[in-house]
Structure 1
Amino acid sequence: MVKKVMVKARAVMLSAMLFTAMIPATAFASSTSEGADISMSAKQSSSDSASASDSAPGNQSNKADTVKASISKDKAEELARKSVNIPKDYALQGANLSTDRLVDGTRNVWSLDFVKRANGKYVGSIYTSINADSGQLIGFSSYNNNANVKPSYPLKVEREEAQQIAASFIKEIAGDYAAQVELNENYGAQLLPALTGEVRHQFRFDRIVNSIPFLDNYIYVSVDSEGHVVEYQFTWDDTISFPKITDYMSMEQAAAKLKAAGAPQLSYIVLNNGESKGKPILTYELAPYAINAVTGEKLSDNNYRYYRVQGEVSESPVTDKPLAAKPQSGSIKEQEALDKVKAAFKLPEGAELDNSSYNEYTDGDSGVSSESWNFSWTIKKDGKEAGSIRATVDGKTGVVYNYNIYWHNQDSAGTDELVTLEKATSTAVDTVKKQLPWLTHELHVIKPDPKQYEDIRSLSRSSYYIGFAHKVHGANVDYDSVIVEIDVRTGEVNGFEAYIQPYAYPTEAPTTISTDDALTKWMDYYRPELTYRVVNEYSWNGQPIPLEKYNVLLASGELDSNSDVDRESKIELVYRLAAKPVDERVFLDATNGQWRSYESGEVTQLERPKITDAEGHWAQHQLELMVAYKALDVVDGKVRPNEAIKRGELIKMLVIAKSGGNYAYATADSGATKNASFNDVAAGSEYFAYVESALQQNLIDLGDGSFNPEGTVTREEMAELIVRALGYNSLAQYEDIFVDNFKDSSQIKNKGQATIVVGLDIMSLNKDGKFMPNKQVQRAEAATAFFRYLQARAELQEAPLRM
């Protein structure tokens, strides 16, 4: 039973009526039938498992009793209601009993979904999971469709206090484990300060073994800004036996080894926002990796581009030069498109066209329009349907970029001779030469791992999958892919998929910083951390199989968790790279070595700039908040609080505050990056996105087409902007309903706006009672006004009227 936990005189309220979703439980509610749905996810005998579909709903509870779990469904429900204080009006809608596979054993888990309905409408749900062997609470999350819940701003509970609440909650819920965990100082920390009251403080308490964190086991707690625990997850495996390793590298030695093992790769990325939207950018990328903490050996990360396409990327492209020019755009008619498919691939006998359609589409990122013809055939044999074909043809160039045959009930079993992997690879290369001749100098075959296709006959597999990596001047283009599927029986092409984005690349390789310089930059981004990791080794029918093959077989459905696969786990001590906390997603520009924002494309830095001229200032907190969101720039460590704010800066501050910190392009339409609305705010301006967004939201007017971003702003102008952002500008026009006592009222053109901002305590009068409408706004004054705007906006949220 969880009692109230008092921290700084504030109780941790677990009432479901106050819960707000971290993971909406409606997903469980909509997919779970009434009563208990019993499913076993680990290998068990048939006598150990039961399915709810085997009996009527009224008998499902009895079915659950046949599963070998120490705790019944009714007992699990009782424990859940006590642990999480689930109100009685929340009814149990779904129950699932499953088995988690641990390193040395299994664990039964009851997953329970409680739902509240009022007047036939869904109100909220609480999802919990209980260890069906020990009764330990494993996790919970909740969703409450209560419009009356209104978070306040600034936060009632900041991170420091929320951490104490989380730690106290763990002691109540998992007291036996509280002494075995340690707060992960980096998880969820140093994020941007909140611009809204809807905040979740996230904490992870890592399991400590032999004074070393085991980062795969932890207790996660999320606390909202009102001080309520809104999510909990207990991720733990008590069956692991950890080796006592004392002779391992120091942190300094590991850092040197990790750097020596690093190999940044040139890659192209495309942003969805910012000035660089839809344009390939050359970057250096370095995915995190690990080394053995004793030997320093770099360990495999087992990451693959596509679960059916594994192997080594060939150093040389398919050809040294393109085999043909890129197809010119035109207008492909239906019959022409059909002829293209027939010329490209050998349609099997009995293929009958049964559908043809035409489609046009404009890509939101690149702005490029595309046209396509889509066809489908039915394959008939002896009067019966034997398979089907799908194909897509570019409506402008006639290129067939998608072709797939689906055969019914055909596999390699019983076939005397199968096509070799070498022959299949050769056929795939020939197919690429024929279908994509203008790209062959940039396509590199991914040499398949022969182990992937061992015992292909016994696996009843029907195809080889040969992939090709796209590289431009040696740089990876990971958003493009080419895959060719070859029938293992006939050697025919059963599938061809070419996803090549229509982006333009430089004709010559760009000049870049050196790999060593890029590696140094990335080592500033990462930090080494020491931890244990679990390595699983698999054997099938007595023969060892690599993890890659096991994952492929699972992903393809040729194996499942009930298959006769043995697993042996070993525990390794490793040093691995972990990203340092940063305020935004960044990438490393390969041409100049600068960190840039994924959101905007703008140059940024890993650490927030330190302000030297705001210490002790009356607006220090507000200035630091706006600097964190880059609404105010910092030059040589100075934010210049008493300097007049520019019009461009004020609009940037307004848009950021109004959007809750989201980047401006989230509200600007896709065409905004193409044409500037104002003649003095071009697409390359640092204010462009914010000015365009403000115009689209009717926060500013187009006027004569000039914005004057470097000009100053008066207090009256700022008052109007804030009132527009609040949505009260039309109301402010009715000046007769507002009473002002301003000493300089006669100087104010828009008295309604001034009265609103003063009445809401967003802006203040001077000591003489004057509003001073024509006074220039200082940077500190603007930062304070928009902080108060955030407070007022939260307070003005109105709950629905109850009749």
Structure 2
Amino acid sequence: MKYYKLGIVALSSSLVLGGIAPIAYAETSIPTNVLAAKTTTSEVMDKERLIERVHELFPGMFEDVREEEFRFDSGRSYGEESELESYGLRFFKELSSDMYVSGRFSFVGENLELVYYSYNNENNEEALFPPQVSKEDAEKIAVSFLNRMTNGSDYQLADNDDELYFYDNQTLTEPVEYNFRFDKVVNDVPVPDQSIRIEVLGSGVVSYYFNELTGKQEVFEKKESLLTESEALDRLKEASNVELQYQIQYERSDDVKAVLTYLPSPKIDGIHGMTGQYYIAGELLDKLPKKEKLKVLSSTPVEKTASITKKEAKEMAEQLLMPKNDFVKLNIEGVNERENYRGQRVYDVEFMYETRNGGSGSSIEIDVDTGELIDYRGGFDERFLGEEDSSRPLAYKNALNKAVDYVEKYASSYVHEVAYPNESDNRQNRYDSDDEEYRFYFPRVKDGTIVNGNGIRVSIAGDGELLGFSIDFDQISDWPSLSEVVSKEEALKDYKDVLQTELQYVSNNNQNEYQANHYKLIYTGEMDKEVLRKYYDAQTGEWTAASSRYDSGKQPSDVTIEHPWAEEELNFMIQAGIIEVENPETFNPDAVITKGDALKVLSKSLSRYYRYERYDYEEQKRQTFKNIDTDHDLYGMIELAIDRGVLEADTENFPLDETITREELAVWYGRILKLTNVADHYEIYKLNMKDSEQVEKANVGYVALVGALEIMTPNEDGYYLPDEEVTLAQLALSNMRLAQEMAEMDIDYR
């Protein structure tokens, strides 16, 4: 702790700092294929043996965890005919009144092989930036850990370019994490669906391990008479074709546009390594599937639908949700009207199923103006009562007819804008024997062209009951012209130019737990790294960065900059998505920064943001500043800063374009550190700097406290320069110091 630096104000500061509430403990979830089907007891595996195994695998790491602090965790059976059983152990330990450490372990087999491990220590200052270990050192740590856990099995480090970060940014207050994926190797061929993921913190501690075991017998195809990679690529290119489609792009939550692109049609996943057969959606085919003609459900729109009341919405929900079993009671918890993220007025109908053993619930979204079903996932699953449905599911055609009926009933105003499901596309239109349901996708159509990313999804039970229904339609005001595009031939050539193949073992993903997984040798079709996460712009003939509502926010950045004294900090914040670099050639970290940009960088330094996140303030229609409405990029950040007391609502407009001074930034920092109560008593502070008289009286306490914490200090000549405008490089450096103090004080900005 650095509180001793405060001198006379340490006692005053402790009055504020002592009141910080502890962070709520959030337990890390185990991936689904390690989660338990039943809880292991001491009759199955002795707890002491599991604890002993933990100490064997992690010597010296968990010596402070007492035996009584360990608890049995969930184990998982891998099938009645399999001897592979898993055993779980976990612990949760309080380090202090507001600090906790926890861990979870999952083992399989008699030898207790580790398949899952997670470790969370809230006292993680050593893992913050700057990290104690580099990425290269972290990789060595991960490889060493892998070798100990797998007893020399063959694995190779995989390319992690598919690893995406859900939010737009990482923060400076969370640990530095290095993530690695290792693919199993059989016969010198990678097996991507049998990978091991390892996470190493910036402190060098392994905090996560997950081994994707199937728990089933595996049969690998022998490498005999293989096609060469060149032969497979040539065959893949010969069969490739493209189709012009609209594609939905999401620049921001409320900025949606349609672009024109060429997409593979059909999508060929690869070529069989020996026969040359086409591998499409899990099947090997001698011939490519025939292209189905696009056919809309109705050639004309229906008559305009009518709005409904809350009472009618409740009655509609009751009809949809009524359970079949007398032991299950349906309760409609409430019907609330709101505006969804697409600007539609909807009723949220919240419901709950109650049984003798507990309950479950969710909500339904119904369009206020049309009475149509926007989003629904309901119906009580009778399997929770131990009841199995022995009846055979409907035939595909009958199930499809049922799905069409549901679209006509619950989305009648859309029937002229959606096409029948493509029967040859078993990725989106198929029977899932595991979930015992049919799934169908009705794509949106505009001017006879598919709108990729928009459509209606319907899932029905084997007996035809509606299980799920969602309308995914964006309001597009400006559609690009279908006539202003590059030729199909040019697009196909460009597509083939970036096509690559890699030989892999690919599983049939057999859903029958008693049958083996058979792995085929497939030359998988892949795009060149240069065009990953890009779409082909049909109007320009260029590969363009893509965005989707379901994409990760932060994309990997290959931008690095040079700087005499803040290079490491700036590059880290660029990689973390905190600082945006639109043009590396003109990027100048020594340029002064405006209050708008400073708040953005500061907010993303301390809190995660998802680009399509909706804020509670929006629901409240709250707008503090006249020039910052709900459509503004900084809306959520500014309203959060108001809530946290960082900004004051004492002006009509927020001064976005004004530069920020060192004194003003010190005030922001002091408020973030929750020092307002002590900083406001400016009369008790004496500033030890040559230009102290230039600091406004009301801000003396903030400058003193932030300086005592060594976040912003006078220069070598003893001048604080309170009126000096802050540059981006200076902000990056001081934000790093602020984050360190927040970690020590256990302050959570969000």
Q: TM-score normalized by structure 2? A: 0.70
Is 1:694 the counterpart of 2:641? The answer is yes
In structure 1, the partner of 2:41 is: 35
**In the alignment, residue 667 of structure 2 is paired with which amino acid?**
E
Is 1:500 the counterpart of 2:471? The answer is yes
Given candidates 183, 195, 205, the residue that maps to 2:157 is: 183
Cα 1:267–1:768 change in 2 (3 A) is same
**In the alignment, residue 301 of structure 1 is paired with which amino acid?**
A
Is 1:777 the counterpart of 2:748? The answer is no
- Per-residue displacement from partner, 1:243-288 (whole Å, max 9, x unpaired)? 23575444797399469736477466586xx743385655757789
Query: Is the partner of 2:193 in helix, strand or coil?
Result: strand
Is 1:471 the counterpart of 2:445? The answer is yes
Query: Is the partner of 1:746 in helix, strand or coil?
Result: helix
**In the alignment, residue 144 of structure 2 is paired with which amino acid?**
S
Cα 1:23–1:314 change in 2 (3 A) is farther
Contact 1:699 1:724 in 2 (8 A): yes
In structure 2, the partner of 1:4 is: none
Distance of 1:190 and 1:424 partners within structure 2 = 36
Distance of 2:707 and 2:436 partners within structure 1 = 74
In structure 1, the partner of 2:297 is: 318
Given candidates 222, 233, 254, the residue that maps to 1:254 is: 233
Distance of 2:228 and 2:620 partners within structure 1 = 51
In structure 2, the partner of 1:639 is: 587
- Per-residue displacement from partner, 1:506-555 (whole Å, max 9, x unpaired)? 4866558657788899899x88462422444xxxxxxxxxx8xx75xxxx
- The number of aligned residues is 668
Is 1:329 the counterpart of 2:292? The answer is no
- Per-residue displacement from partner, 1:139-176 (whole Å, max 9, x unpaired)? 24245676698754432233222222222223334343
In structure 2, the partner of 1:763 is: 712
Distance of 2:732 and 2:113 partners within structure 1 = 45
* Aligned residue runs from structure 1 range 270-349, under 5 A: 275-277=252-254, 279=256, 289-293=269-273, 298-302=278-282, 315-322=294-301, 324-329=302-307, 331=309
Unaligned stretches of 5+ in structure 1? 1-19, 37-59, 65-71, 304-310, 377-389, 537-546, 552-559
Distance of 1:621 and 1:406 partners within structure 2 = 54
Distance of 1:235 and 1:318 partners within structure 2 = 42
Distance of 2:570 and 2:185 partners within structure 1 = 39
Contact 2:348 2:365 in 1 (8 A): yes
In structure 1, the partner of 2:413 is: 438
Distance of 2:454 and 2:49 partners within structure 1 = 50
Is 1:156 the counterpart of 2:137? The answer is no
1:648 deviation in Å? 2.0
Distance of 1:798 and 1:375 partners within structure 2 = 36
1:214 deviation in Å? 2.9
In structure 2, the partner of 1:555 is: none
- Per-residue displacement from partner, 1:114-148 (whole Å, max 9, x unpaired)? 446789x9986644344425x26232424567669
Given candidates 438, 448, 456, the residue that maps to 1:481 is: 456
1:748 deviation in Å? 0.7
- Per-residue displacement from partner, 1:2-61 (whole Å, max 9, x unpaired)? xxxxxxxxxxxxxxxxxx99935799999965725xxxxxxxxxxxxxxxxxxxxxxx34
* Aligned residue runs from structure 1 range 19-58, under 5 A: 23-24=28-29, 33=39, 35-36=41-42
Query: Is the partner of 1:108 in helix, strand or coil?
Result: coil
**In the alignment, residue 662 of structure 1 is paired with which amino acid?**
Y
Distance of 1:145 and 1:606 partners within structure 2 = 27
Contact 1:596 1:605 in 2 (8 A): no
Question: Alpha carbon RMSD of aligned pairs, Å?
Answer: 5.7
**In the alignment, residue 28 of structure 2 is paired with which amino acid?**
I
Query: Is the partner of 2:649 in helix, strand or coil?
Result: coil
In structure 2, the partner of 1:112 is: 88
- Per-residue displacement from partner, 1:337-365 (whole Å, max 9, x unpaired)? 979999x9xxx9xxxx9999972332442
1:751 deviation in Å? 1.4
Is 1:786 the counterpart of 2:732? The answer is no
Cα 1:527–1:658 change in 2 (3 A) is farther
**In the alignment, residue 754 of structure 1 is paired with which amino acid?**
V
Unaligned stretches of 5+ in structure 2? 1-24, 284-289, 353-362
Contact 2:164 2:552 in 1 (8 A): no
In structure 2, the partner of 1:705 is: 652
Is 1:232 the counterpart of 2:232? The answer is no
Cα 1:26–1:405 change in 2 (3 A) is closer
Cα 1:527–1:195 change in 2 (3 A) is farther
Rg (Cα) greater in structure: 1
In structure 2, the partner of 1:83 is: 57
**In the alignment, residue 681 of structure 2 is paired with which amino acid?**
Y
- Per-residue displacement from partner, 1:294-348 (whole Å, max 9, x unpaired)? 6765421249xxxxxxx997611122222x23314364865x9979999x9xxx9
Distance of 1:259 and 1:686 partners within structure 2 = 46
1:671 deviation in Å? 1.7
Cα 1:138–1:430 change in 2 (3 A) is closer
- Per-residue displacement from partner, 1:455-499 (whole Å, max 9, x unpaired)? x9xx9x9998876444344334656535486998xxxx7549653
Distance of 2:626 and 2:620 partners within structure 1 = 14
Query: Is the partner of 1:35 in helix, strand or coil?
Result: coil
Distance of 1:333 and 1:727 partners within structure 2 = 47
- Per-residue displacement from partner, 1:603-644 (whole Å, max 9, x unpaired)? 998744353xx3x52222233234443535454523223322
1:203 deviation in Å? 1.8
Contact 2:35 2:75 in 1 (8 A): no
Distance of 1:420 and 1:24 partners within structure 2 = 38
Contact 1:205 1:218 in 2 (8 A): yes
In structure 2, the partner of 1:532 is: 504
Distance of 1:779 and 1:261 partners within structure 2 = 48
Contact 1:255 1:528 in 2 (8 A): no
User: Identity of aligned pairs, percent?
Assistant: 20
In structure 2, the partner of 1:138 is: 114
1:568 deviation in Å? 7.2
Is 1:561 the counterpart of 2:513? The answer is yes
Is 1:609 the counterpart of 2:584? The answer is no
Contact 1:647 1:710 in 2 (8 A): yes
In structure 2, the partner of 1:207 is: 184
Query: Is the partner of 2:712 in helix, strand or coil?
Result: coil
**In the alignment, residue 303 of structure 2 is paired with which amino acid?**
A
Of 211-220 and 644-653, more deviation after overlay is shown by 211-220
- Per-residue displacement from partner, 1:553-589 (whole Å, max 9, x unpaired)? xxxxxxx635xxx55724313234278599x988788
Distance of 1:699 and 1:693 partners within structure 2 = 9
**In the alignment, residue 700 of structure 1 is paired with which amino acid?**
L
Cα 1:673–1:603 change in 2 (3 A) is farther
Is 1:595 the counterpart of 2:600? The answer is no
Query: Is the partner of 1:712 in helix, strand or coil?
Result: coil
Contact 1:360 1:369 in 2 (8 A): no
Distance of 2:710 and 2:631 partners within structure 1 = 36
Between 1 and 2, higher relative CO (CA 8 Å, sep ≥ 6) is seen in 2
Distance of 2:640 and 2:349 partners within structure 1 = 37
1:765 deviation in Å? 1.5
Of 230-239 and 200-209, more deviation after overlay is shown by 230-239
Cα 1:262–1:366 change in 2 (3 A) is same
- Per-residue displacement from partner, 1:64-114 (whole Å, max 9, x unpaired)? 7xxxxxxx998666544422346551545257473479xxx9562332324
In structure 1, the partner of 2:141 is: 165
- Per-residue displacement from partner, 1:175-228 (whole Å, max 9, x unpaired)? 432xx3332253688987762342332222333344443323344322222222
1:239 deviation in Å? 5.6
1:785 deviation in Å? 1.9
Contact 1:275 1:601 in 2 (8 A): no
Distance of 2:391 and 2:633 partners within structure 1 = 63
Distance of 1:626 and 1:406 partners within structure 2 = 47
